[in-house]
Amino acid sequence: MRWLISLAALLLTLAAHAGEPGGHYAFRSHGADRGLRTQAVTVMAQDRAGFIVVGTEDGLYRFDGQSFQALDTAGGLASASITALLAVADGSLWVGTKKGLVAWRGDAPVRGRAPLLVDQEIVGLARATDGTLLVWTPTATFLGRPPALRAVEGLPGGAGSGWIAADGRELVIGRRGTLYRRDRRGRWEKRLLPRTHHRPVP
């Protein structure tokens, strides 16, 4: 799903306008005039330095509050189509693309970390404080401490959501109307979610 880039401005202006009367927010639109060559925004995250990092269908950008800097994805990413972002405590940023997963810091890939799950589209990311990474693609769900990521048998891929406990021992994953949970003993359980009925919009 594409996000409007004005959301990035909202993140940066909420704090500045916190003292204003309730219900008043400032929106600002940014585009090519600020260095963002495309407005096909797919995902956003804030890194540990406070910068807003923006993933698009045509590259990775960093916003410093004034302008966007296009990061050199050509040297470290197999695909310029960014599909997922996850900031972690050590200051690095996991960047998911349509052709794999890369650890990024600043304006370049982290040295010594090879791309993971090459040629697979990354559709979601979650991480525990112990370094355990939860990654899902259209066809599978992967778990482990990089670079050792292994597909979890019995878990489907595809769009959904996931949560991982701080110590990496407990997991909850939602996929296709089903909730999968791994308890602290490593046992998996599966529960079907209640069906919801939506009336079509006229």
Both 157 and 113 in one domain: the answer is no
Q: What is the pLDDT of residues 9-41, one digit of tens each?
A: 444 444 444 445 556 666 666 666 665 777 788
Residue 70 sits in a domain whose CATH number is 2.130.10.10
Domain boundary among 65, 90, 121: 121
Averaged confidence pLDDT in the chain? 80
Work out the burial of residue 179: count CB atoms within 10 Å of its CB; fewer than 13 is exposed, 13-18 middle, 19 or more buried. middle
Both 20 and 75 in one domain: the answer is yes
What is the model's pLDDT at position 84? 94
Q: What is the pLDDT of residues 112-149, one digit of tens each?
A: 788 999 989 999 999 888 888 999 999 999 999 999 99
Both 62 and 131 in one domain: the answer is no
Q: Which of 105, 123, 1 is nearest to 47 (CA)?
A: 105
Contact 61, 70 (CB under 8 A): yes
Both 1 and 25 in one domain: the answer is yes
Both 40 and 77 in one domain: the answer is yes
* Higher pLDDT, residue 145 or 64: 145
Confidence band for 4, pLDDT divided at 50, 70 and 90: very low
And the tokens for 68?
């966007």
Contact 55, 44 (CB under 8 A): yes
The side-by-side arrangement of strands in the sheet containing 150-151 is 124-127, 133-136, 141-144, 150-151
pLDDT at 3 over 80: no
Q: Report the domain count for the chain.
A: 2
Both 158 and 193 in one domain: the answer is yes
Q: Compute how many other C-beta atoms are within 10 angstroms of the C-beta atom of residue 167.
A: 11
Domain residues for 164?
Answer: 123-202
Among the listed ranges 19-28, 43-52, 77-86, 103-112, which one has the minimum average pLDDT value? 19-28
The region that residue 91 occupies, defined by phi over 0 for left and psi between -120 and 50 for alpha, beta otherwise, is left
The region that residue 107 occupies, defined by phi over 0 for left and psi between -120 and 50 for alpha, beta otherwise, is alpha
